[in-house]
Amino acid sequence: MPINILMPALSPTMEKGNLAKWLKKEGDKVSSGDVIAEIETDKATMEVEAVDEGTIAKILVPEGTADVPVNQVIAVLAGDGEDVKAAASGGGASAPAPKAAEAPKAAEAPKPATAPAPAPAAKPTASAAPQPAQVHSNGARTFSSPLARRLAKEAGIDLSRVTGTGPHGRVVARDIDEAKSGKGLKPAAAGGAAAPSYAPGPSDAQILSLFNKDNYEAIPHDQMRKVIAQRLSASDRDVPQYYLTCDCDIGKLVAAREEINGLAPKDKDGKPTYKLSVNDFVIKALAMALQRVPDANVTWTDEAMLRHKVSDVSVAVSIPTGLITPIIRSAHAKSVATISNEMKDLAARAKARKLKPEEYQGASTAVSNLGMYGMKQFTAVINPPQSTILAVGMSEQRPVVRDGKIEIATIMTVTLTCDHRAMDGALGAQLLSAFRLLIENPVMMVV
């Protein structure tokens, strides 16, 4: 029988992707392991390999299609010895479609104002597991899908105020999308503690009405920008963040860097085998600081604190469509030269959108450096589930007072953003102090 080729989930958080390019066409034979398509996620462009052998009978989703939900049928494969025409006409119908309650709303086509109301989802069978419910302080229970609960949390919406349209009044994803615009929201609870509510911002139509349409160009958001907006909005709303700032005298580091780069061995083409940057030392120093203050090398979860044994440091890299954070794994155990070369490779592949998910997911901290843009000081937003991020400003010569005398020193200002759930101020200060000691005395990074 025909084999349905589904839109794959290329990372744990992927809900949809863009089908960038088909590398096979209808009628082509494929073997297991053959690369058949390129998929764009919010972070990278990845190749999709065939799992089964056969002939591409029909392509259902053309290349260039955006926001294709995970598990949607994108093509039909005819098995060996199977009639290709029959497979093309009969394939796709039996594909496991995403459940209506959990399909991402953003992937649905917008409905005109006159469209009929969506049909209710099929009733669960008697053997279905009971739906999870949220119990509120007034004793009321709100049944909801896992996706609806996550979307409500990200949007700051109280589930008890949402009118559910799923089976038996269950709150589903489409209800949360309606609630964002104020539709289907019940009045806030009277008396006692006020129920949390969500105050939606102005609609697109309201914003567009403020401007002359001849004076702007509407550029649709790509998937990366949408995910950045979603994740960092959730971070700013849900993660209690505080900021610690200190000035670091990096005169010794600058001198050591120049000497090390000047003595770097040459390859067969006469080029230095490495060229260290200040940012390479920053990565190393932060990684070693986390080892010296292990209680700060953590990730918060609702059930437990994850204390990491290694220092995996992600580094913000700007690319034309947004931002991505490739990771230097076990940076505390690597030389600065190794970190430098790895960072150059990761940054190049990040800009080409060729990183694998494991190369940009799973760090406990991050570095964001805007010094090359002339920024003296700034604060950065934590990228959940990380607990810290270090914002690095430019290094410059400033007057300082030493032993009652004014001297000129090379100073770099850094700001550490911390998740207050995971660490209190004193612990964050210990981490930043450990970083400062190392960055001001780079010789300590080799012992």
Nearest to 4 by CA among 62, 54, 40, 64: 54
Phi-psi region of 299 (alpha: psi -120 to 50; beta: other; left: phi over 0): beta
| Annotation marks residue 420 as catalytic | yes
Distance (Å, rounded) from C-alpha 170 to C-alpha 154? 19
| Strand pairing class (73-78; 3-6) | antiparallel
Name the strand (E) or helix (H) holding 430.
helix 425-440
DSSP string, 173-219: HHHHHHHHTTTTBPPPPPSSSPPP-------HHHHHTTS-GGG----
Q: Are 79 and 54 in contact (CB under 8 A)?
A: yes
Nearest to 91 by CA among 52, 63, 119: 52
Distance (Å, rounded) from C-alpha 53 to C-alpha 175? 41
Cis before 357 (ω within 30): no
Q: List residues with catalytic annotation.
A: 420
